[in-house]
Structure 1
Amino acid sequence: MIIFILDRGFRDSIPIIEECGYVPHMPSSRGRGEQLTTLDANKSRLITMCRWVIEAINGRFKKDYKIFRHTYFNVAMQNIMTDFKITAAIINATRRPYEDSVYVDQFINIINVRTNRENELAQYVIENNMNRQRVAFMPLDGNNPDFRDFPQLTFEELILFTLGSYNLRLARSYCHEHIRPNGVYMIELYRHQELINNKILIRGRIQSRHVRARQYYIYILINPATQGRQSVEDYYCSCIHGRRTVGSCAHIASIVYFLSWARHQQQI
């Protein structure tokens, strides 16, 4: 069986690929304002994890060899494969090959456990229309002592939480955007005793990188009775991938990154 791992640019080719007997996998998409289901969001994350090496190799071609950055003219098409093979040989001879992450076995275990897990926190937030409830939330800064219950994680635990370093790099960028001049990272704290006894629900607001008028709401459920990565029991974001339970979106990662690691390092 031949499997095609594609990005959304190939969406019009899916019927033809299936007619030829191949199995295509492409990240799911939704209409404007709609969220992916938990299962679709998880599958999309698995596809992007597999596609990362493809994008990384393409980046090497385009970064170092200008000819592959632009549209190829028809007159040169007869030489494209020769040029590509020569370039590939140079890259293989001079660049360090990619290797599996040292966390690959742990990633696989997390994926197997969480792929079919439903996001119960998302259901609770949506059913109670909590994105519109502002009275119960108290704005606090990230250095407030009320956040002493938030677990302190190692950087390795953060990588396992996000299933890779890509969203951690985005998380750092988000932190810089939401830090105030006085060094305060503004988030909001919410405690709801009826949700689960003695657990803390934290909500944050993140400005979209793509649409200035759009903000995303992030919910993180913390269990102070447990330690390390396991104490972050559940999380949900109002962005398109926010119901994901395999890894997390960059919005959730930014708050977890700041509260669990960066603020303890005196840097972001």
Structure 2
Amino acid sequence: MDPETQAVAVQMLERAGKINSVQVLIEENSLLNKRSIYKPLDGTSSTDLDDFPHLSLDDLRNITMGVYQVKQAPAYTKEHTDDDGGYELMACRDFPDLLRVKIQSRHSKNAIHTLWIQYTSDTGNIRGWYCTCKVGARVVGCCAHVASVLWFLGWKRHLPEDQLGKPGLASSCLNASSSSGTFSSNDPLEE
């Protein structure tokens, strides 16, 4: 096994032993059912979420533990953005570093998933995530819902305007064969 693959395997094993701290926070504070503690944000605004971490494609691949969700993120984001071109985001008043997003299931018109992303603005790290979908509580990688929001907030909205409309940008940037294959050593999850 080459050293890079071995490093990823070690990282996966370390994450597998952790609990989902965001899920615990949501459940212990009954944040799933409380509506009044959230305020709307504009993900396309330069002032709202200016403290959200800027993510590189390597950071996203590190969070997702591969390229599958990262490659799906542009199409998934396009399907789930509102008329203004951004996700409908909510900030938690009790936990200012916690975002909530409601997202329609791609597979069922009747299913809506709620996801949370917790981040640290001073260090620029994604601390964790939780989604109510079937695989949304995992800590080894993340579901496509979380990946699409991270891709949009952490990477796409920071691209220069002239790059946003270029055809093939997402596929060329997200092509696994053009990637360095390395992962950032920053662990996005807290213990």
Q: TM-score, normalised by structure 1?
A: 0.55
Q: Residues 8-49 of structure 1: CA distance to partner in whole angstroms, max 9, x if unpaired?
A: xxxxxxxxxxxxxxxxxxxxxxxxxxxxxxxxxxxxxxxxxx
> Paired residue for 1:143?
44
Q: Gaps (5+ residues) in structure 1? A: 1-99, 194-198
Distance 1:258 1:101 in 2: 32
Q: How much does 1:236 deviate? A: 0.6
Q: How much does 1:200 deviate? A: 0.3
Runs of 4 or more consecutive aligned structure 1 residues displaced over 4 Å after TM superposition: 100-103
> Paired residue for 2:24?
123
Q: Which residue of 35, 39, 64 maps to 1:162?
A: 64
Q: Is the 8 A contact 1:152 1:261 kept in 2?
A: yes
Distance 1:169 1:101 in 2: 24
Distance 2:76 2:130 in 1: 17
What letter corresponds to residue 252 of structure 1 in structure 2? V
Distance 1:235 1:156 in 2: 18
Q: Which residue of 93, 112, 122 maps to 1:215?
A: 112
Distance 2:94 2:5 in 1: 37
Q: Residues 196-229 of structure 1: CA distance to partner in whole angstroms, max 9, x if unpaired?
A: xxx60011111101110111111111111213xx
- 1:249 corresponds to 2:143: yes
What letter corresponds to residue 234 of structure 1 in structure 2? G
Taking a change above 3 Å as real, the CA distance of residues 101 and 249 of structure 1, as seen in their structure-2 partners, is farther
Distance 1:167 1:101 in 2: 24
Q: How much does 1:123 deviate? A: 1.8
Taking a change above 3 Å as real, the CA distance of residues 146 and 101 of structure 1, as seen in their structure-2 partners, is farther
Q: How much does 1:240 deviate? A: 1.0
Q: Residues 71-91 of structure 1: CA distance to partner in whole angstroms, max 9, x if unpaired?
A: xxxxxxxxxxxxxxxxxxxxx
% identical equivalent positions = 32
Distance 1:129 1:245 in 2: 21
Q: TM-score, normalised by structure 2?
A: 0.76
Q: Gaps (5+ residues) in structure 2? A: 165-169, 171-191
Q: Residues 40-74 of structure 1: CA distance to partner in whole angstroms, max 9, x if unpaired?
A: xxxxxxxxxxxxxxxxxxxxxxxxxxxxxxxxxxx
Q: Is the 8 A contact 1:106 1:160 kept in 2?
A: no
Q: Is the 8 A contact 2:87 2:101 kept in 1?
A: no
Q: Please state which structure has a larger fraction of its residues in helix.
A: 1
Q: Please report the RMSD computed on the Cα atoms of aligned residues, expressed in angstroms.
A: 2.1
